[in-house]
């Protein structure tokens, strides 16, 4: 029987490490600062931004939320980004995605100063990641690597598979694993006989956006399975199919009209794997924790002449 990975517990450890470092910097007269630009009134985005600002403040850092209407144009957002780029008290800058349809999201991302790009998605930082030289790495993949490191999961010489090839999770986590000498296969919707491929993996990362899609037939005995999916399931029948008569899940549905499910069918996979991240409470909390860590790194970059990359340490 596999063990659940306590992502929330690891996130608290990282946040405490950040809190100690922020206190040290403040004792020397420093203050890391994070600015988050929120465009429109997407409910999920509002929750994400509120949580980011709350955690930032709880760790003793300066934080700002810049709210813009859903009618904002690309140029209006670019004007805000450029102004934040120039502010010396703002060291980390992110624009919450997704942006309204009329906005050129790529132009906005490209306008962020790479040394302030705490999401790690500016093309310059993506290039540094490809080269194994990144300092500011995408937060969710960086959080996954922390999970593996803090559980002492053997990486060098192991085989990994990633289901999903997104710019935010799939591609960067494949690169990070590869830089740790993992042999990685990236899988997607056009991969033939997907379970045959993923059953070769000692480490399986699932980020595809399909609730409970991956069952035990996809998993090698004893594999580590990281479930990145966060899907709303709003059918009682489907919830019972995935979770059985789990009273907590059914109560969640009765209260909110939905419950969250990962991309992995946990009840079928847990008996076969060695470790599995739950949803919620697995990878999700690490994303904000790594954002806070990136903000402190961005502060350090602002105090040196080092670009947003450093030589890979073997």
Catalytic residue, chosen from 6, 15, 96, 137, is 96
Query: Sign (positive/negative) of CA torsion 288, 293, 296, 302?
Result: negative
Catalytic residue, chosen from 52, 116, 137, 297, is 52
Is 12 assigned a catalytic role?
A: no
- How many other CB atoms are there within 10 angstroms of residue 109's CB atom? 19
Is 96 assigned a catalytic role?
A: yes
DSSP lists the bridge partners of residue 225 as: 204, 276
Catalytic residue, chosen from 119, 202, 227, 263, is 119
Three-state SS string across 216-252, please?
HHHCCCCCEEEECCCEEECCHHHHHHHHCCCHHHHHH
Is 119 assigned a catalytic role?
A: yes
Q: Which residues have a catalytic role annotated?
A: 52, 96, 119
């Amino acid at each position: 029987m596999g063990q659940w990975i306590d992502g929330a517990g690891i996130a608290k450890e990282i946040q405490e490490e950040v809190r100690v470092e922020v206190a040290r910097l403040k004792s020397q007269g420093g203050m890391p600062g994070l600015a988050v630009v929120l465009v429109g009134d997407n409910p999920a985005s509002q929750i994400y931004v509120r949580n980011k600002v709350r955690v930032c403040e709880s760790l003793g850092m300066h934080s700002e939320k810049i709210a813009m209407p859903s009618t904002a144009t690309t140029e209006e957002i670019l004007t805000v980004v450029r102004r934040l780029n120039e502010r010396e008290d703002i060291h980390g800058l992110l624009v919450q995605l997704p942006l309204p349809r009329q906005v050129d999201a790529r132009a906005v991302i490209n306008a962020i100063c790479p040394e302030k790009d705490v999401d790690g998605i500016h093309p310059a930082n993506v290039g540094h990641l490809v080269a194994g030289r990144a300092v500011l790495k995408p937060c969710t993949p960086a959080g996954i690597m922390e999970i593996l490191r803090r559980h002492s999961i053997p990486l060098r010489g192991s085989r990994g598979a990633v289901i999903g090839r997104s710019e935010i999770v799939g591609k960067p986590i494949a690169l990070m694993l590869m830089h740790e000498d993992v042999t990685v296969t990236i899988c997607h919707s056009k991969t033939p006989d997907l379970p045959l491929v993923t059953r070769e993996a000692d480490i399986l990362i699932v980020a595809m956006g399909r609730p409970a899609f991956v069952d035990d037939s996809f998993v090698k005995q004893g594999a580590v399975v990281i479930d990145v999916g966060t899907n709303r399931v709003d059918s009682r029948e489907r919830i019972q199919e995935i979770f059985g008569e789990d009273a907590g899940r059914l109560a969640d549905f009765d209260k909110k009209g939905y419950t969250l499910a990962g991309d992995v069918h946990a009840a079928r996979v847990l008996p076969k794997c060695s470790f599995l991240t739950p949803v919620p409470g697995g990878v999700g909390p690490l994303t904000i924790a790594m954002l806070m860590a990136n903000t402190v790194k961005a502060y350090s970059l602002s105090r040196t002449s080092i670009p947003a990359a450093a030589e890979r340490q073997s």
